[in-house]
Amino acid sequence: MNVDMKIRRPIKWGKILSYAVLIIFAIVYAGPLIMLVNTSLKSLPDFMKSATSLVTSPNFDNFIDAWQKANFPRYLTNTVLYTVTATLVYVVTAIFLAFPVSRGYIKGAKIILFLFIVALFLPPALIPQFQLMLRLGLYNNPIGYILLFTINPIGFTILVNYIKTIPIELDEAAALDGCSYFKFVTMILFPLIRPAVATVAVLHAIGIWNELILPTIYLTSQKYYPITRGMIVFQGVYGSNWPTLAAAVLIMTFPMLLIFLLMQRYIISGLTTGAVKG
């Protein structure tokens, strides 16, 4: 007897629930950003008429006004200088320190790693740090501000854990071939840990780009302001013009958002692989 029977697959309620939860979280996280974009495209009269309604006629002049009125060229130049310089110095020094610590080539390697892990849970020592900056003559100084970001326990820990996944036989083979320490780190180790380096660099750069407390404390001259400190000045002058203010926030956010999207694959790889060993 030939009977066509349709096999009904059981409904996977767990999978449906997981997708529903993810969609809800996506809406929660993307909602403020969507509202920010919507506000930035409104004219001031339209915003005053209805702040939450969807934009009908986009007004891109807000971005031009924000760029000109917020002194973005100066602030962005300062921010890029601080971010690139501090991130480069930090990543290079962190690699050269993380390698011997991860391998145990120096005395007290475990203690050093333990101290970095402890530093993750300690609050920033702003008062001793402030006194040190004053005595060194680095207060209200771009060099002093950059030096504040040359240490990061999270990035160091990620690098150490990632390097532990690299076979130690590479070290021995390089030593037998007469490879110097500097050449080994730059020519052999660095290409192997690029995902971790990208992760650390992006996370560190985002932290510097979005920093607000430190420039407020240590930079008093407006010519040294980064973009976050400049936004406070802009908000104090044009705080009632919400569409222009929203456009300024989007301009400030866009560079780091673009870098994060471009480096997302490396960031995920660096975090997951580095979490295998601890």
For the stretch 128-153, pLDDT in tens is: 899 999 999 999 999 999 999 988 89
Give the pLDDT confidence score for residue 31 in this predicted structure: 82
How many beta carbons lie within 10 A of that of residue 31, not counting itself? 10
Give the pLDDT confidence score for residue 3 in this predicted structure: 47
Model pTM score: 0.81
Judge whether residue 278 has pLDDT over 60.
no
Q: Residue 9 corresponds to which amino acid? A: R
CA nearest to 205, candidates 80, 106, 104, 58:
80
Min mean pLDDT across 19-28, 128-137, 262-271 is at 262-271
CB burial of residue 249 (10 Å; 0-12, 13-18, 19+): middle
For the segment 216-243, the average pLDDT, to the nearest whole number, is 86
Give the pLDDT confidence score for residue 214 in this predicted structure: 92
- DSSP string covering 130-163: HHHHHHTT-TT-HHHHHHTTS--HHHHHHHHHHH
Q: Residue 32 corresponds to which amino acid? A: P
Min mean pLDDT across 35-39, 52-56, 130-134, 222-226 is at 52-56
Report the C-alpha gap between 175 and 191 in whole angstroms.
Answer: 18
Q: For residues 41 and 244, is the Cβ–Cβ distance under 8 A? A: no
What does the angle CA 175 – CA 181 – CA 184 come to, to the nearest 5 degrees? Answer: 75
Q: For residues 200 and 94, is the Cβ–Cβ distance under 8 A? A: yes
Instruction: Express each pLDDT in 168-187 by its tens digit.
Output: 888 888 888 888 888 898 88
Report the C-alpha gap between 92 and 97 in whole angstroms.
Answer: 9
Q: For residues 119 and 153, is the Cβ–Cβ distance under 8 A? A: yes
HSE (CB half, 13 Å, CA atoms) of 232? Answer: 12
Structure tokens belonging to residue 177: 């071939």
First to last CA, the chain: 62
Delimiting residues of CATH 1.10.3720.10 domain(s) in the chain:
62-274
Structure tokens belonging to residue 209: 């780009």
Cite the beta strand spans of 63-219 per DSSP E. Answer: none
Report the C-alpha gap between 135 and 139 in whole angstroms.
Answer: 9
Distances (CA, A) of 195 to 95, 127, 202, 259, 271: 13, 36, 11, 14, 8
If one looks up domain 62-274 in CATH, what number appears?
1.10.3720.10
